[in-house]
Amino acid sequence: MTSLFAGFFLSAIFSTMPSQTGDWEIVIGSIIVTLNEIASNYIYSYKKKHSNFSILYLLNFLRIGIIYGLFVDAFKLGS
């Protein structure tokens, strides 16, 4: 559960730091999505092969926290 909150905190950092200049939003967004998809592919392919995946379980919660935090920031900006 701590990984979920850490991911939420990291998403706040990811969404505010690069967008200070205003010209890096699309690049950083595409990098975050690409890293998210690579991590998702690795986590779920490893999960099918092995039954012991406690570190990947924490990484998955971190990934979900980042996605959730980015959605919350998007809704704040849209309103």
- Structure-token match 């967008």, residue found: 19
| Domain regions of the chain by residue span | 2-78
Q: At what angle do helices 25-49 and 54-78 cross, to 10 degrees?
A: 150
Q: Quote the pLDDT of residue 13.
A: 84
User: pLDDT 10s digit of each residue in the chain, 79 long?
Assistant: 788 899 899 888 877 776 666 677 777 778 888 988 998 888 888 766 776 667 888 888 988 998 898 888 888 877 6
Has this prediction a pTM greater than 0.95?
Answer: no
